[in-house]
Structure 1
């Protein structure tokens, strides 16, 4: 990289200081912000118009980890993208920034003018509605928003039309789907979910990721010795599902179980969204469930897992207290979600209460190492919506090799569910309705970081869509899109945000 270009690329902290100095000197600073994956004529025109509004043009480029605009994005890694931007004559400074919270860098830099591109002007008004209405002042402060005009190009549209991101089958599906459902129609449906009142009951789980580095074979035992490097703690299980749903719906009530000793309640409360209303019950004979995974940091491969739990059923007193609470709470909610990990919390009596009292209830029974073969969907009667993975569906029917469509139809008939969806990993999902409609949706993910929590994200987004009355193909589409975003997140580090889902859908339907 030439010295002149290299000197234009600086850190965010340094950029904020330079901007403050320029403003003191009476200079007008203009900021543009985005991915800048492809430098096409629309971007050049946008930057030229942005530069014409002031004395200094700075461009903030979103880091790879926060790019969830669509499949295969970014095409080019962050160091190439920021160098390409810095190579443009009209750009004075370029900077790589986090974008986990949209436009956070604008708030920190405080430019005189924020230049908004023509291609994204309407898209961002729809996707980031809160930013443009309720929180505009917080992010942009006194910065004037300047919308560059003229003709526009979209990088997503260019990529979708000219680069083979998806196999032919998936591309054909998306073109057909886009003819049936416009982006605006899907956005309108998602926005209507906001008023849905949801009660979630399920096993809350603390996920710990311990990162290690292999040192070599032990001289005294047949094992590989690892060196501890770092660790992260996430709120998983029903906790992450609550966070997913709370991004869609204003009112979410979580009913879950903690251990009496070392409950980790403070961490859990801090990890949940403010609009998640909590009702904890406690068991005397076991801990809050914690699953520790040990991971080779270099290869990003899981080595082994240790579970801290008591997976026997809760005692009768605790069960009675839960049932009393559900009897009084369930009538207030439009949708009851059951996230059943089979760890002793959701008993047969609790299931019967939910079945009897719910307007609509949706179930996800999970198979894991602690319950394989024992936590089957068939213990539920007439659920409205069910979501399982392929292994869970095959165990429920004891059909190891049968055609998956036949299995889906069989379980749907046994349960008499309105919608029954099986997630199929790389093969997408298959859905069956009570009126015998069968829907196949391909997978949308092109980059997989971690599959843990992908099924939870699918369930958390698909179930409210079902409760809102969306057709099976649209419910499956939205669930698959949420799953594609979830596999790009390490464990349950963060929920899939509504704006990320909308951006992703906007990109793949272009």
Structure 2
């Protein structure tokens, strides 16, 4: 029987012990380090070259959390990348390095030879200079491979279409790494039931104006539309509260409305849908905006109401209403869409009245160019779009991990969940370390979009916010919160009209997810023939 390549894959502590034993036996060690997202011919030549330089070849690969090549990288999860290297006959050991550089591993391995690509020969990168110093201090030497066959994993990935089976492997690796399974997701949904939540923020009526595009206007280069009808939905804080109720929580909505007759009926309307509310008449009218739609395409969005920030007297009244509803609440959600219901003074008021320990979890969201994400500093978690994150950090060019690092440190928040829209979600949290030099490390997870169809984004932001916030407030991890939010979003965007995702609906969806089932058709390579026969039995032969 062929030995399993898994025997070659060791953790950092085990490889350090093995290296010490090899040195004691007089064996020499050569070390290669990289991402190895897709093992291509350039990698093969590089590793074969290295294998000739010593008795034992150790290959380390950068862990998923430390790769900063884009939101959907690595393309291959670390477990599969390690297996891809371990099956190579000339590779003796593989280790997944949890650090951003190979420095810690080099200190432990003390290789005789450290091989890098030729692009590093003239490099002054301080990270590589540190690696070189460690190798040479322990008596080793750094050698550069000629790189006569040049490939790029990034370039190859750009030419590949999305692979559904690989997406499932990535999701399975994410779930395995963080203990996300059928039991944990079911337990999270059960914990949502009857959790008391206070939602405070802008209440906005979204009007969908359904049109027929009839051509261009006679008097200029403008699109000509014929109005067919109109549908209205709640968004922002109102939609978030309704989504919380649909998931089984007990939300209280605090917002500002107008003094018109319609505004006075809203508390009763929300109560009919399971949301208690305190709606104070502090605006001229209900905030509203219109989206014009033709042939299922959103043409443009029109804001019908200006921002109307609370004055000091109104702020005190809203703060009093907020404080009166905090007793017994396990979660507070801020929804700042830039229409004036969320102010810095209101945020400070909540912060000053929350207990230092055992208080409710505070989660915030800022949406739109007038929203103030910086004003939500100090929240336990923030849910934002990539554009909002980049605009707040004033950084449109850096990698997303760098942007997330800036925001986490600037805002003093413990977690970020960033929506990449149709690409998926990415979560960031500070790494847990006792090393002061490593205090800036991030833990991150990318969840590809689970939606098969993207029909209408209306309500998807609120679904992500409500689902993630409930998960965090009930003790769930950030990876679990991101995964459940991605599932909720996939349901929300697959239909028109912003219908809220029901708890039973989400539970049914999770019950069909292959990465949560131990008996998925997409089995790892270690599945036995008996496993495959049980899961995918052969078709009966025709008689």
Q: Distance in 1 between matches of 2:415 and 2:268?
A: 33
Residue 468 in 1 paired to residue 466 in 2?
Answer: no
Q: Distance in 2 between matches of 1:438 and 1:388?
A: 15
| 8 A contact 1:245–1:252 mirrored in 2 | yes
1:320-366 CA distance string (max 9 Å, x none): 21112222222331111001111111111101012222322110011
Q: Distance in 1 between matches of 2:507 and 2:308?
A: 41
Give the superposition deviation at 1:262.
Answer: 5.4
Give the superposition deviation at 1:273.
Answer: 5.2
Distance 1:243 1:273, change over 3 A: farther
Q: Distance in 2 between matches of 1:269 and 1:488?
A: 30
| 8 A contact 1:439–1:472 mirrored in 2 | no
Correspondence for 1:316 among 308, 312, 315 = 312
Alignment of 1:71-86 (within 5 A): none
Residue 288 in 1 paired to residue 289 in 2?
Answer: no
1:248-307 CA distance string (max 9 Å, x none): 3442111011112354453674366543111001125x22011111111xx211222222
1:92-125 CA distance string (max 9 Å, x none): xxxxxxxxxxxxxxxxxxxxxxxxxxxxxxxxxx
1:358-392 CA distance string (max 9 Å, x none): 32211001124xx2xxx332222321011111001
1:452-497 CA distance string (max 9 Å, x none): 32121101100110111111211110011111111123242x2111
Length-normalised TM-score, structure 2: 0.59
Give the stretch that moved more between structures: 327-336 or 265-274: 265-274
1:225-264 CA distance string (max 9 Å, x none): 2222122111222111101111234421110111123544
Aligned partner of 2:362 in structure 1 is 361
Q: Distance in 2 between matches of 1:390 and 1:488?
A: 21
RMSD of aligned alpha carbons? 2.2
Give the stretch that moved more between structures: 464-473 or 416-425: 416-425
Residue 488 in 1 paired to residue 494 in 2?
Answer: yes
Aligned partner of 1:233 in structure 2 is 232
Q: Distance in 2 between matches of 1:174 and 1:273?
A: 38
| 8 A contact 1:258–1:289 mirrored in 2 | yes
Local SS of the residue matching 2:315: helix
Aligned partner of 2:446 in structure 1 is 440
Residue 172 in 1 paired to residue 172 in 2?
Answer: no
Q: Which has the larger radius of gyration?
A: 2
Local SS of the residue matching 1:449: coil
Aligned partner of 1:421 in structure 2 is 417
| 8 A contact 2:331–2:362 mirrored in 1 | yes
Q: Distance in 1 between matches of 2:256 and 2:167?
A: 41
1:108-164 CA distance string (max 9 Å, x none): xxxxxxxxxxxxxxxxxxxxxxxxxxxxxxxxxxxxxxxxxxxxxxxxxxxxxxxx9
Aligned partner of 1:11 in structure 2 is none
Q: Distance in 1 between matches of 2:481 and 2:487?
A: 10
Give the stretch that moved more between structures: 242-251 or 195-204: 242-251
Local SS of the residue matching 2:317: helix
Q: Distance in 2 between matches of 1:283 and 1:237?
A: 17
Residue 217 in 1 paired to residue 222 in 2?
Answer: no
Q: Distance in 1 between matches of 2:253 and 2:266?
A: 15
Give the superposition deviation at 1:214.
Answer: 2.0
1:45-92 CA distance string (max 9 Å, x none): xxxxxxxxxxxxxxxxxxxxxxxxxxxxxxxxxxxxxxxxxxxxxxxx
Aligned partner of 1:508 in structure 2 is 513
Q: Distance in 1 between matches of 2:456 and 2:473?
A: 29
Residues paired across the two proteins, number? 338
Local SS of the residue matching 1:440: strand
Unpaired stretches in structure 2, ≥5 consecutive residues: 1-160, 432-441, 518-543
Aligned partner of 2:426 in structure 1 is 430
Aligned partner of 1:99 in structure 2 is none
Local SS of the residue matching 1:195: coil
Distance 1:265 1:233, change over 3 A: farther
Correspondence for 2:402 among 387, 399, 406 = 406
Distance 1:426 1:302, change over 3 A: closer
Residue 194 in 1 paired to residue 193 in 2?
Answer: yes
| 8 A contact 1:198–1:336 mirrored in 2 | yes
Q: Distance in 1 between matches of 2:504 and 2:272?
A: 16
1:140-196 CA distance string (max 9 Å, x none): xxxxxxxxxxxxxxxxxxxxxxxx996243210233355543313310221012132
Unpaired stretches in structure 1, ≥5 consecutive residues: 1-163
